[in-house]
Amino acid sequence: MLGFDKVSVHFDDTVALDGVTFELREGDTLILLGAAGSGKTVLLKTALGLIRPDQGRVSLFGESTHDKKEREMVDLRSRVGVLFQEGGLFDSLTIEENVAYPLLNQRTLRCPPEQVRPRVEEALEFVELGHTLEKVPSELSGGMRRRVGIARAIVTAPPLLLYDSPTAGLDPITANTITALIAKERDIRRTTTALATHRHQDGQLLANYRHDPATGRLLPADPGEVRTRFLVLLQGRLVFEGSQEELEASVDPYVSKFARRLKE
């Protein structure tokens, strides 16, 4: 679904990504771990074609983004839902307009006008914010803005979802609510998910828990029920790729910072 082949990105003399190679298969959950400034956001933006790599190739849904024009990338991006680090909500639009934005602007979707409002309401109900339609982003708390961001990402029912540090700067309770919503979306709609985070708890929750539709709660997942892989980035380089067990077994001082906490 998403593939990186020796991808490098530079900003002037700064190396943001250095020869990163990985593949995200359909139905998998990818947890991208790394400290602040390690290149997680750049990786996700490169996956979307918002940043063009200096070297290497990115493939999205089996299509190389290398030689695609911006207009072609727009069509390809319409199949990807994304939550930006700060939510990326348009502060001049209401919550309803924000969530409706991809439905009204992605030309490949061709959403009939009479379906826009019901789909927006459905997406907002999913994140339990159905009462905020008329509000503007500045009237919402940080956690609520992230949830609106999730609603906007899922409103088009994309097969691939990218989350950029969805819990950064949130209190632990709100952060868990956000992660639970991500798991709920993944398990109900069977979407392929990539999540960049510096919080070990986010990875732990997504790797070991599944959403139970009957109770609406997260329950421990059976072994192998959730196909989760972990990547660890350090200064733009991929220093680890593997399963949770491999991550926990790592003796690398940097990687084990994330792994040790997973064991706790």
Partner 1 sequence: MLDILKSPVHGLQDFVLLTFRAFLNIFRRPHYGDDIVLQMDIIGVGSLPIVMLTGFFSGAVMCLQMSRALAQYGASGEAGRAVAITLVRELGPVLTALMVCGRNASGMASELGSMKVTEQIDAMRALGTDPVQKLVKPRLIATAIVLPLLTVIADFLGIIGGYMVACPYLQLTTASQYWSKAHQSLEYNDLAQGLIKPFVFAIVIALVGCFYGMQTTGGTQGVGLSTTRAVVVASVWVFVLTFFIGNFFI
Please list, in sequence order, all residues whose beta carbon lies within 8 angstroms of the beta carbon of residue 176, skipping any fewer than 6 positions away.
201, 205
Tell whether residue 48 is a contact of partner 1 (CB under 8 A).
yes
Binding track over 133-172 against partner 1, x by CB under 8 A: -------------------x--------------------
Per CB under 8 A, does 229 bind partner 1? no
Choose one: 72-80, 166-174, 202-210, 244-252; the region binding partner 1 (CB under 8 A): 72-80
Between 17 and 46, how does the x/- string for binding to partner 1 read (CB under 8 A)? Answer: ----------------------------x-
Tokens representing residue 22 in the block: 């990985």
74 binds partner 1 (CB under 8 A): yes
Binding region for partner 1 (CB under 8 A) out of 26-34, 103-111, 218-226, 250-258: 103-111
Cα–chain-centroid distance for residue 258? 19
Among 22, 27, 57, 101, binds partner 1 (CB under 8 A): 101
Give the whole-angstrom CA distance, residue 71 versus residue 128.
34
**Beta carbon nearer to partner 1, 122 or 246:** 122
Q: What are phi and psi of 92, to 5 degrees?
A: -90, -5
Query: Alpha-carbon Rg of the chain, whole angstroms?
Result: 18
Residue-level length of the chain:
264
For residues 11 and 210, give the distance between their C-alpha atoms in angstroms, rounded to a whole number: 39
Tokens at 148, concatenated: 């609106």
CB distance 229 to 25 below 8 Å: no
**Residue 32: enclosing H or E segment and its boundaries?**
strand 29-34
Rule CB under 8 A: choose which of 8, 78, 201, 235 binds partner 1.
78
> Residues interacting with partner 1, by CB under 8 A?
45, 48, 50, 70-71, 74, 77-78, 80, 82, 84-86, 88-91, 101-102, 105-108, 152
